[in-house]
Amino acid sequence: MNETLRRLTFLTIQCVLLIGLVLASATATYAQEQGSDLKTVSADEVEARLADDRRINLVNTKVEGDLQLYASEIDRFSAQNTVFDGDLNVDPCVEQHESRCEVDVGRSKFDIQNSEFSGRVDFTDLNAPPADASFGSLYFYNCEFREETDFSSIYSPSVSFFDSTFDEDFILTSAYVDGWLNLGWVHYKGSADLSAVRFDNISTIGIRADRPLYIRWSQFPDDWVSREMKKEVTSHRSSKNIKDVYWPQLEATLLFWKNNFTELGYDRDARRVNFEIISARRKLEDRNDIKGVMGFWDRVVATILRPANGFGSEPFRPVWISLIAIPVFGLLYWILGLRWQVFDKTTPDKPLKEPRPLAAFALLYSIDTFIPFITVTGVKDWGYATKGWSYWGIELWERLAGLYLFGAAAYSITSYAI
């Protein structure tokens, strides 16, 4: 009896699994047929519907022919799972070549998802006055652009190309995005020009590019990394997820921009990004629940180098500070020397030279004290030096400052040159 029950159970399980496989196969086949079964409309039909209703929603559609649209005649353009077989050209308004647009074109919104553009996409017209090149929000999600894409000089409250792919050149130069520019998980296979783009905020998590993107770090908001840290990293409660998931994503994005600027030859921009990376690591390391983001010696070096050269972002800063510090210490020697005995004889014999004029001697003495390991002026061989309170209160601190700044300068400039 038990053996028969066992066999029946085994057969039942096999039947359930077989039925599940058949249903899954049928569902996949049906979905594939539905996805490939796109209804076809002409570009003229789309333009006519927009002229009548000012709105359109294309679903599982193939648009044949070149589309010429005018933002002044559109309130909302939506598309899902749609193939645009020809070029898509969107101009601000019909009258743009004759005069300024007489209607508001800033409310036209485009929401296109899971779609493909086989031809060229052009949302700009350099003949239009700047104020007329505005649009509403432009939202492209998981789209593939097979030819050149031009959004240069547009004005929009928000622009998103999230998870989209650009097979050819992408142009967004001189555009103005009043709010959020979303380039998260975008893949640029051709060249991309984002020079002179202005935006209030930008998302670039997961961005990829086969060639360097033309953009400068100065275009990013000053507090961009802090905002990204708060939004993408520290807003999550789990310290494990922060350390293992969210911070590595943001760090990879920052490293992408660092390498991008290095490839373009924008070394200062690359150093600025490196500064932000190290600063973010230190902020995470300061939390009691997150450790191991930086190694021990990395923390030591970062702590030492931040005030001197900003984690390498300002390699010549120690030199400029030194050029200011030397005269400051010299001035201190001179002012105190006018009232008290700062320099004493170091030999019972007659000194080689007298420390006169005092101002010049103090400056030369400061140079030889500040610069470590070598003698520059030789005034310390004249037979005068600081002693007692003037040594412990002034010269010792100048020696330490010189050793620190020259060490930092040597490290920074060497790393920069190499």
Q: Are residues 295 and 242 located together in one domain of the fold?
A: yes
pLDDT tens for 24-60 read 454 444 344 444 578 999 999 999 999 899 999 999 9
Lowest mean pLDDT: which of 33-42, 295-304, 326-335, 360-369?
Answer: 295-304
The 3-state DSSP class for residue 46 equals: helix
Domain boundary among 199, 215, 231: 215
- Residue bearing the bigger pLDDT, 285 or 405: 405
Mean pLDDT score across all residues of the chain: 81
Q: Are residues 235 and 309 located together in one domain of the fold?
A: yes
Q: Are residues 112 and 240 located together in one domain of the fold?
A: no
Residue 277 CA to residue 274 CA, distance in Å, equals 5
Under a CB-based contact definition with an 8 Å cutoff, are residues 256 and 248 in contact?
no
pLDDT tens for 215-238 read 999 999 999 998 888 887 777 667
Q: Are residues 17 and 43 located together in one domain of the fold?
A: no
Please state whether the peptide bond connecting residue 357 to the residue before it is cis, i.e. omega within 30 degrees of 0.
yes
283-298 as b/e: b if 16+ CB within 10 A: bbbeeeebeebbeeee
Residue 156 CA to residue 108 CA, distance in Å, equals 10
Q: Are residues 42 and 29 located together in one domain of the fold?
A: no
Q: Which two tokens stand for residue 117?
A: 């553009």
Domain boundary among 195, 215, 235: 215
Q: Are residues 238 and 283 located together in one domain of the fold?
A: yes
Enumerate helices (H) and strands (E) in the chain, giving the number of each.
11, 23
Q: Are residues 112 and 29 located together in one domain of the fold?
A: no
Range of the domain at 295: 223-313
Q: Could you report how far apart the first and last alpha carbons of the chain are, in Å?
A: 82
pLDDT tens for 339-358 read 788 888 877 776 777 888 88
Q: Are residues 227 and 245 located together in one domain of the fold?
A: yes
Residue 167 CA to residue 117 CA, distance in Å, equals 10
Q: Are residues 332 and 307 located together in one domain of the fold?
A: no
Q: Are residues 239 and 200 located together in one domain of the fold?
A: no
Q: Are residues 53 and 131 located together in one domain of the fold?
A: yes
Domain total in the chain: 4
Of residues 169, 161, 123, the one with CA closest to residue 142: 161
Element (H, E) at 308: helix 296-309
Lowest mean pLDDT: which of 6-10, 157-161, 212-216, 267-271?
Answer: 6-10
pLDDT recorded at residue 299:
64
Domain boundary among 160, 195, 215: 215
Q: Which two tokens stand for residue 60?
A: 């599982």
Which range, 129-143, 191-205, 228-242, has the best average confidence (pLDDT)?
191-205
Please state whether the peptide bond connecting residue 157 to the residue before it is cis, i.e. omega within 30 degrees of 0.
no
Lowest mean pLDDT: which of 1-5, 240-244, 375-379?
Answer: 1-5
Residue 262 CA to residue 196 CA, distance in Å, equals 19
317-337 vs 296-309: helix axis angle to the nearest 10?
60
The CA-atom distances, in angstroms, between 70 and each of 50, 73, 130, 139, 365 are 10, 6, 16, 17, 75
User: What percentage of the chain has pLDDT greater than the value 70?
Assistant: 76
pLDDT tens for 46-97 read 999 998 999 999 999 999 999 999 887 889 999 999 999 999 999 876 554 4
- Find the mean pLDDT for residues 266-276: 88
Q: Are residues 123 and 62 located together in one domain of the fold?
A: yes
